[in-house]
Copies of this chain bind each other. A is one copy, B any other.
Amino acid sequence: MAHDQSPLARPFPALPAIAGVTLRVARAGYKDWGRCDLTYAELAEGTAVAGVFTRNVCCSSEVELGRENVAQGRARALVVNAGNSNAFTGYRGREAVEQIMAQVADHLGCPPDQVFVSSTGVIGVPLPKDKARAGVSAALKAAPCSWEDAANTIGTTDTFAKGAVATAIVGGKTVTLAAIIKGSGMIAPDMATMLGYIFTDCAIAPGFLQELLSAANARTFSCITVDSDTSTSDTVLAFATGKAGNQQLNCGGCPGADAFAAALEDVCRQLAHLVVRDGEGAQKFITVSVTGAVSDESARRVGLAIANSPLVKTAIAGEDANWGRVVMAVGKAGEPADRDKLSIGFGGTWAARDGQPLAAYDEAPVAAHLKGREIAIEVDLGLGAGRAVVWTCDLTHGYIAINADYRS
């Protein structure tokens, strides 16, 4: 099945080459869909790697092995299979991943734990070893391809290719980050999951890259939701080839570390937004800003309770300034809140202040705001200095159509 392109889609950006990264795609034929479905990225020797993975305890072998392998900090290759997530497939699934790692390691002459594998698609079907072997062989011989080719090849039910770019000056050298991602629901195990890959030429120690990636993740990927369902395969990996010529970044005090961290977070935020923009059935991109919480983490949890509420999401779909549903979502979040200090606004106009509807509430600008594609919900808890921003999309007939109106 194919879906129309999301009305919130963004054109694929112009991504520069990253020294030390070569991309190739091939057709493994995991599904009968007549397109490339295996992506291979070869990475220069000495490339640093960091990763964040799903917290779903029923995770795939790819996630288990990726989490183990990130610990040693070095990567020579990435293989992404599209059309089969290989999740919930027991020992047979794990054998298929280990076969791919061994095949690529043999080709490159590197340890197998420097080969990272991701898979996305149907679950419960072990990744076919013969198709994987032939697909990897074909990819190793294929001509290099573009970022957009790779972005399209890792996708499944995505309605548009997603990429992001940023640069930073590190010790007088310009370092570049180029990144691609796929994802359309936080999960739809028949077909979709969130996989993101960031490539940079920056020279950076693996442990410090992991520290910066985890921090950026907490403010970006951990602040988006499409449908509250957490994938068994979600993975974001960052690869740093070290070819930019900068002095290696090792810690927060290094010159340029702040600039690199900001660029990394910028790329992560761009990627996270693109996933929301391709959210299943999405018609509106919603930014929920929470201030006045007792802590930043408390603000994030309140924001996610709002962003995950089906009643808030359907109200936005209906262009309805239903601040009562926002009050309800704040109250059910399980975080400190005082009904009589709570304020709610839309697009910069307060609808309720200090626990009561505003007598002077002017609904006209709010109604106009809600007719747009980009919606802002503002919540002030009136308790402290904690703040967070969370992003989501609305809940529409399109979501039901994608997830209920067909048989797997």
Give chain A's interface residues, CB within 8 Å of chain B. Answer: 55-59, 87-90, 92, 122-125, 185, 187-190, 227-232, 308-311, 314-315, 317-325, 327-332, 337-340, 342, 352, 354-357, 394-397, 399-401, 403-408
Please report the C-alpha to C-alpha distance between residue A354 and residue B90 in the assembled complex, in whole angstroms: 9
The main secondary structure of chain A at its interface with chain B is loop
Contact A311–B229 (Cβ < 8 Å): yes
Instruction: Give, as a whole number of angstroms, the nearest-CB distance from A354 to chain B.
Output: 8
A56-B328, A124-B323, A310-B310 known; 15 other A-B pairs, CB under 8 Å? A56-B332, A58-B330, A89-B356, A89-B357, A90-B340, A124-B356, A190-B322, A228-B228, A314-B399, A314-B400, A315-B408, A317-B404, A395-B400, A397-B400, A399-B400
Residues of B within 8 A of A187 (CB): 311, 325, 328
Partner of A356, one of B56, B90, B319, B340: B90
Residues of chain B within 8 A of A401, CB atoms compared:
397
Set of chain B residues within 8 Å of A342, measured between Cβ atoms:
58
Task: Give every chain B residue within 8 A of A59 (Cβ-Cβ).
Answer: 331, 339
Do the beta carbons of B356 and A310 come within 8 Å of each other? no
Residue of B nearest to A338 (CB): B57
Q: Separation in Å of the A94 CB from the closest CB of chain B?
A: 10
Q: Is the CB of B88 within 8 A of A318?
A: no
Q: A57-B331, A58-B337, A123-B327 are in contact. Are A356 and B88 (CB under 8 A)?
A: yes
Contact of A352 among B88, B327, B332, B394 (CB under 8 A): B88
Most buried by B among A123, A185, A321: A123
Number of copies: 2
* A337 and chain B: residue at smallest CB distance: B57
Tell whether, in the assembled complex, residue A88 and residue B327 are in contact, meaning their CB atoms are under 8 Å apart.
yes
Closest-CB distance, A271 to chain B (whole angstroms) = 21
Q: Give Cα A188 to B403, complex, Å.
A: 23
Residues of chain B lying within 8 A (CB to CB) of residue A394: 404
Q: Which residue of B lies closest to A397 (CB)?
A: B400
| A229/B340 in contact, CB under 8 A | no
A209 and B320 alpha carbons, distance in the complex (Å): 42
Asked whether B57 lies within 8 Å of A339 as measured between CB atoms, the reply is yes
The residue that A229 contacts in the complex, of B56, B318, B319, B332, with Cβ under 8 A, is: B332
Which residue of B228, B320, B322 is within 8 Å of A310 (Cβ)? Answer: B228
Chain B nearest CB, measured from A6 CB (Å): 17
A230 vs B306: C-alpha distance when bound (angstroms) = 12
- Pair B327/A189 contact, Cβ less than 8 Å: yes
In the bound complex, residues from chain B placing their C-beta under 8 Å from that of A397 are 397, 400-401, 404
